[in-house]
Copies of this chain bind each other. A is one copy, B any other.
Amino acid sequence: MALLERAQALEAAGHDILHLEVGEPDFPCAAPIMDAARRALDRGQTRYTPAAGLPALREAIARDYRDRLGASVSPAQVVVTPGASGALQLIMGALLNAGDEVLLCDPGYPCNRQFVTLFGGVPRPLPLRPEDGFRLTADTLEAAWTERTRVAMVASPDNPTGNRTDGAGLARLARDCRARGGTLVVDEIYQGLCYGAPADTVLRHGDEAVVINSFSKYFGMTGWRLGWLVAPQAWVPAIERLAQNWFLAPSTVAQHAAMAAFGEESLAIAEQRRQLLDRRRTLLMEALPGMGLPVVGGAEGAFYLYLDVSAHTDDSFAFCRDLLERTGVALTPGLDFGAHHHPERYLRLAYTCEESRLHEALERLRAYLERP
């Protein structure tokens, strides 16, 4: 956060900053989605909707699971939320009592902790090992599970490692959690952004996991604040009541806009963008290891590379700060994502700017690393 503010301050002061720290696609929101938003405005669709979202959107989401992903999901299992953020709050609120433990991947998405502590839950690390490529294994899960564990969380594809966990494997982990009396929550916010393998969902392989998703990343709708969760149908009335009390409803215009996200044209645009991201990823993965910056973690999804910077520093935060000041290249230190297995060795690069800028960043980085 301190570095993000510094990057913005430097930019405001006229410096040319290369933003490789931003967890947000750089593409504009696709035209069919924008057009659907305009139509909603023209129809004056700006009043409160039901707390769990417009029935038509819940149906569209369920249909997309069936048609595109081959998973059977009922609209009654879908709750539309203010971003994946809202979905994370709801599911933790529905599942946790004070003192319950929640296992969180380390490294992982930093806000997860806050949704756990919000309900008096206790976040516990699932320390992912570099030698496992920072992948969650059944062993790690088993070793971390205690009598007080209620929930384990994993993202696939993952932030910050870009790891994709195979859907069948996730379904097995979900069954393990269920067998122990707990729940696996799978954050699939980067689901559509997969490289080298088709997108998948744990829901295609079983119905034990709860799934979090969002229109933010694959559909480039970050600022619209719209996501969803898929839970066992029996849990939905309780989740809906929480949503009614805390949020009243998700944004109406955003919901009408999102209805166009699953259309053919929008999906074609999303696919084009996925290919562009894949090119950027390839370009970086070819260049970085030769600069003494090996890519650790799978980099099979999302738009992140997790890099080992220990050949150049024993403090990736200081490295990021110095790099920013001297070259204008902004990156995120590993410390932002966890505390185990030496986060000070790592940093995250988000390839959310265009190729010419990535080349520029690589050049500045190379010059910086080769400075006498």
A contact set with B: CB distance below 8 Å: 1, 24, 28-29, 34, 37-38, 41, 44-49, 82-83, 85-86, 89, 93, 98, 111, 114-115, 118-120, 220-225, 242, 244-254
Contact = CB atoms under 8 A, between A and B. Distances in A.
B114 A246 contact: yes
A120 B41 CA distance: 40
B251 A225 contact: yes
A250 B225 contact: yes
A221 B46 contact: yes
Contact of A47 (B37, B223, B242): B223
Contact of A49 (B49, B223, B252): B223
Task: Kindly name the residue among A37, A44, A98, A253 whose own CB sees the greatest number of chain B CB atoms within 10 A.
Answer: A253
A1 B38 CA distance: 32
Contacts of A98: 98, 120
A8 to B, nearest CB: 9
Given A41-B41, A48-B222, A225-B249, 7 more contacts: A28-B44, A38-B38, A115-B246, A118-B246, A223-B249, A224-B253, A225-B250
Nearest to A111: B245
A37 B223 contact: no
Contacts of A222: 46-48
A37 to B, nearest CB: 6
Contacts of A246: 85, 89, 111, 114-115, 118
A115 B224 CA distance: 24
Contacts of A49: 223
A351 to B, nearest CB: 17
The 6 closest A-B pairs by CB, nearest first: A223-B252, A114-B245, A46-B223, A29-B46, A28-B44, A47-B223
13 contacts: A1-B244, A34-B44, A41-B41, A46-B220, A82-B247, A85-B246, A98-B98, A114-B242, A114-B246, A223-B252, A224-B253, A225-B247, A225-B250
A89 to B, nearest CB: 6
Contacts of A251: 223-225, 251, 254
Contacts of A253: 37, 223-224, 253-254
A28 B43 CA distance: 10
A246 B98 CA distance: 18
A86 B247 CA distance: 7
A132 to B, nearest CB: 28
A245 B250 CA distance: 18
A45 B247 contact: no
Contacts of A224: 46, 251-253
A97 to B, nearest CB: 11
A247 B114 CA distance: 11
Contacts of A46: 28-29, 34, 220-224
Contacts of A47: 24, 222-223
A153 to B, nearest CB: 15
Contacts of A247: 82-83, 85-86, 225
Contacts of A24: 47-48
A147 B105 CA distance: 41
A229 to B, nearest CB: 16
Given A114-B246, A225-B251, A251-B225, A41 B44 contact: no
A50 B167 CA distance: 35
Contact of A83 (B89, B221, B223, B248): B248
A224 to B, nearest CB: 6
